[in-house]
A and B are shown apart, each in its own frame.
Chain A
Amino acid sequence: MPKHHISLVVNGKKVEADVEPRMLLVHFIRDVLGLTGTHVGCDTTNCGACTVILDGKAVKSCSLFAVQADGKELLTIEGLAKDGQLHPIQQAFWEKHGLQCGYCTPGMIMTSYWFLRKNPNPTEEEIRNAISGNLCRCTGYVKIVEAIQYAAKLMQSKELKK
Chain B
Amino acid sequence: MYPAPFEYFAPKSLDEAISLLEKYKEEAKVIAGGQSLTILMKLRLARPKYLIDLNKIPGLEYIIESNEGIKIGAMTRMNDIAENELIRKTYPIIHDAAINIADPLVRNMGTIGGNLCHGDPGNDMPSVMIALNAVYTVKGTRGERKIKAEDFYIDTFQTALEPDEILTEVFVPKPEPKNGSAYEKIKRRVGDFAVAAVGASISVDENLRIKKIGIALTSLGPKVLKVDTSGLIGSVANEDTFEKVGELSYKTAQPSSDIRGPAEYKRDMAKALTIRALRLSLNRILGK
Contact = CB atoms under 8 A, between A and B. Distances in A.
A48 B35 CA distance: 13
Given A44-B39, A64-B34, A59 B108 contact: yes
A4 B53 CA distance: 14
B2, B39, B55, B103: residue with the most chain A Cβ atoms closer than 10 Å = B103
Nearest to B51: A21
Contact of B6 (A1, A43, A115): A1
B8 A45 contact: no
B43 interface: yes
Contacts of B57: none
A43 B7 contact: no
Nearest to B38: A63
Interface in B184-233: 190-191
A59 B38 CA distance: 13
Contact of B43 (A4, A22, A44): A44
Nearest to A19: B8
B3 A22 contact: yes
Chain B interface residue bracket vs A: 20 to 34
A51 interface: yes
Given A21-B8, A63-B38, A67-B8, A132 B53 contact: no
A27 B42 CA distance: 13
Given A63-B109, A65-B38, A2 B7 contact: yes
Interface string A44-79: 111010010000011110111101101000000000
Contact of B109 (A1, A44, A59, A70): A59
A132 B5 CA distance: 32
Contacts of B55: 68
A43 B1 contact: yes
A73 to B, nearest CB: 15
A48 B103 contact: yes
A8 interface: no
A146 B146 CA distance: 50
A24 B8 contact: no
Given A22-B3, A45-B35, A68-B53, A58 B106 contact: no
Contact of A58 (B3, B4, B35, B104): B104
B206 to A, nearest CB: 38
Interface string B54-95: 010000000000000000000000000000000000000000
Main secondary structure of the interface of A (DSSP, over half): mixed
Contacts of A62: 42
B109 A64 contact: yes
Interface string B30-57: 0000110011011100000001010100
Nearest to A132: B190
A111 interface: yes
A125 B105 CA distance: 17
B102 interface: yes
B105 A111 contact: yes
A129 B38 contact: no
A37 interface: no
Contacts of A57: 108-109
A29 B53 CA distance: 21
B1 A133 contact: no
A155 interface: no
Nearest to A118: B83
B17 to A, nearest CB: 15
Given A22-B41, A60-B109, A63-B39, 11 more contacts: A1-B5, A22-B5, A24-B42, A27-B2, A45-B106, A57-B109, A59-B108, A60-B106, A63-B109, A65-B38, A67-B8
20 contacts: A1-B6, A1-B7, A2-B7, A21-B5, A24-B2, A24-B42, A27-B2, A45-B102, A46-B191, A48-B105, A59-B109, A60-B105, A63-B39, A64-B109, A68-B10, A68-B34, A111-B104, A111-B105, A115-B104, A132-B103
Interface of A: 1-2, 4, 20-24, 27, 43-46, 48, 51, 57-60, 62-65, 67-68, 70, 111, 114-115, 129-130, 132-134
3 closest Cβ pairs, A-B complex: A133-B103, A21-B8, A133-B105
